[in-house]
Amino acid sequence: MTQNPFNPFDNSPNQQPFSPFFPPPFNPSSPFPIGPPPPPGGGNTQFPGGPPQPGGNTPMPMGPPPAFTPQMQLSASQSQQGSSGIRRCIYRNTFIWQRNGDSFWFFPTFVTSNIILGFRWGRFGWVFSTVNRNSILTFQCF
């Protein structure tokens, strides 16, 4: 049976809308993968030195952060002033206090000279987010 180019519905039993500009919805049981094939050798698809992208090789936290809110400690033994030393918190639950008064659980995955990439805990779970390093008052890793 051929597709009528003037009929916006395909010939499936459910009469799904058909558009040549958008691929069909993802079907996990389909033998055909969606998206481009991996590069030769199965290498990283990111540019060298580039930050990880959500959904790529960035490990998402396995569960929620600890169920408590830590007290802000401004002593050097418990937490750090500013964002200096936050690289040691990569892939660890980290509580961040910002200069504007906000505080939240964060799971850093990549640190640059001025931005920290990772996942921020919110009402609906972990969400990929960035934090400006200059906005951090102090932090504590767990």
What is the residue-level pLDDT of the chain in tens, covering all 142 positions?
555 555 555 555 555 554 455 555 555 565 555 555 555 555 444 444 555 555 556 788 999 999 999 998 765 554 566 777 899 999 999 999 999 999 999 999 999 999 999 999 999 999 999 999 999 999 999 9
Supply the CATH number for residue 113's domain: 2.30.30.100
> What is the domain count for the chain?
1
What confidence score (pLDDT) does residue 30 get? 54
Position 13 in a domain: no
What confidence score (pLDDT) does residue 59 get? 82
Position 59 in a domain: no
pTM exceeding the 0.85 threshold for the entire prediction: no
Position 101 in a domain: yes
What confidence score (pLDDT) does residue 27 get? 58
What confidence score (pLDDT) does residue 83 get? 74
CA trace torsion 2, 5, 7, 9 (10° rounding): 70
Position 91 in a domain: yes
Q: How far apart are CA 10 and CA 7, in angstroms?
A: 7
Which residue range(s) make up the domain with 101? 81-142
